[in-house]
Amino acid sequence: MRKVAVTGLGVITPVGNSSQQMWNALLEGRSGISKVTRIDVTQYDCKIAGEVKGFTPDTWIIKKEQKKMDLFIQYGIAAAKMALQDSGFQITDNNRTKVGIIIGAGMGGLPGIEAQYDILKAKGPTRVSPFFIPMVIPNLTSGFLAIDVGAQGPNLCVTSACSTGAHSIGEGMRYIRDGICDAMIVGGSESTICQMALSGFASMRALSTRNDEPEKASRPFDTGRDGFVMGEGAGVLILEEMESAKKRGAKIYAELAGYGLTCDAYHITNPSEGGAGAARCMDVALNDAKVNLNEIDYINAHGTSTPAGDIAETMAIKSVFKDHAKKLSVSSTKSMTGHLLGAAGGVEAVISVLSLHTGKIPPTINLDNQDPQCDLDFVPHIARDKKLRSVLSNSFGFGGTNATLLFKRHL
C-alpha cells in the first residue's frame, strides 16, 4: 500500500489567518470568540461567534474573481494556496492530471443565498447576480481552485455536516493509496455566520447563549457548557505519495496513516448511546493504520461543548482505549476557535499534524469545573509538551456521520 505524506498546511481561522498565527494563539490559550459584528444580532438569542478577522482576499484571489465567490470559497482558496506555498509542491504539465482536489463545505453559500434572495424580493428576478449559482454551490471551492492552479485530477466536494473536512482528507488519502492521484489538495471551508444559520441553530437550542462572556462561552467537557459557538474559516492539507515527496526533498510534517468512517444510524442530531458510532469509527481508523491502542498519545476531540456530545465522545474514547484512555491527552481546540462546521475537520487536522510535528498539545480552555462524566485528561487551560507518536482527530456530524483521521510521526 502506498503511504501518504502531509507536506503542506493552510488555514483561515478565528484565531489567525496562517498556520503559525493560529498555532501561537492556541498554545497561548487565546479565544477567537466575540460578539457578532457582521449582522445585527439584537433580536437573536445567540449574539456571539468565532468570526475571521483581518482576512484580505486580495493576497490570494484577483479582484475581479472575488465577486463570483461567497466567503466560504474565498477562505478555502486562500487556505489551499497557502498550503501549496508551504509544501513547495509544483503543479506542472507533467503531473497535473494526477493532482486532485477535495475541499468540502458543510452548508455552502448560505449568506450568498440570503443576500440574493433579498435582491430578488426587493428588485425583481433580473437583478439577481449572474454569478449567484457558482457563488454558493459547495463544490465551487474545488472548482475555482482547480482553474486557478491547473489541477486536472479528480475534483469534487464532500458534504457531511461537521465531518466534512475530515471526510475530505480521508477520501483524498484513498485516492493516493489507490494510485489514482499522486497528490491531493484536501480539507474543508465554511462561512455561515448569517441570519438563517444563527436562527436555525438557535431554534434547535444548539448554540451557547453566554453572550456576556464570549471568550468563555465555548467550554467543552465543563459542567457549565450550554451549546456550541459557531465559527468560520478553512483548513487545507497537501497530501502526497510518500516516496515521491521524499524524492523531491519535501518537508514532511506527518504520515496520514488511518481513516475511519461510520454512521450511528440513530438520530439526526444526537449521538448514539454510549458514543457507539464514534467508538467504531476510531476502531476503523486504528485498524486501517495497523496501529496499536497504546501508540496513540493525543486525541484532538470533536468536543463541541454540547451537553450530550461531550459525554458521548468521552464514553467512546473509554470504550475503545480501555485502560490506555487514562494515559491519553485529549483536548478540544473548539474551546478557542468555536465550531467551524464543515471546516472544523480540516482545521483540526492541521492542528493535529502540528501537535505531532512540534510535540506540543494545545489546551482545552474554560475547563473550570470538569463534568464528572467526562473523566479524561482534557489538558485544561495550559498547553503541554509531550513526545507524540500517533494522534487521532475526531469529527462527528448531524445525521450520525463520523470521521476519524490517524496521523503518525514521520521518522
Known catalytic residues? 162, 302, 339
CA atoms lying within 13 Å on the CB side of residue 206: 19
The grid coordinates of residue 158 equal 464532500
Helices (H), 107-177: 110-123, 132-136, 140-149, 164-177
Hey, which residues does 296 pair with through a beta bridge?
390
Contact 44, 198 (CB under 8 A): yes
Cβ neighbourhood burial of 283 (10 Å; 0-12, 13-18, 19+): middle
List the grid coordinates of 4: 501518504
Give one DSSP letter per residue of 78-114, joined into a string: HHHHHHHHHHT----TTTGGGEEEEEE-SS-SHHHHH
d(CA 18, CA 395): 22
Task: State the Cα–Cα distance between residues 293 and 279, nearest whole angstrom.
Answer: 13
C-alpha 359/C-alpha 353 separation (Å) is 10
Which is nearest to 154 in space by CA: 77, 90, 80, 102?
102
Evaluate whether 383 touches 363 at the Cβ level (below 8 Å): yes
b/e per residue, 313-326, with b = 16+ CB within 10 A?
bbbbbbbbbeebbe
Are 405 and 166 a contacting pair, CB within 8 Å?
yes
CB 218 within 8 A of CB 305: yes
Q: What are phi and psi of 262, to 5 degrees?
A: -145, 175
C-beta separation of 260 from 284 below 8 A: yes
Cell numbers 496513516 correspond to 257
Q: Which three cell numbers stand for residue 165?
A: 473536512
The Cα 290–Cα 356 span in angstroms is: 18
Q: Which three cell numbers stand for residue 348?
A: 483540526
Task: Please tell me whether residue 237 adopts helix, strand or coil conformation.
Answer: strand
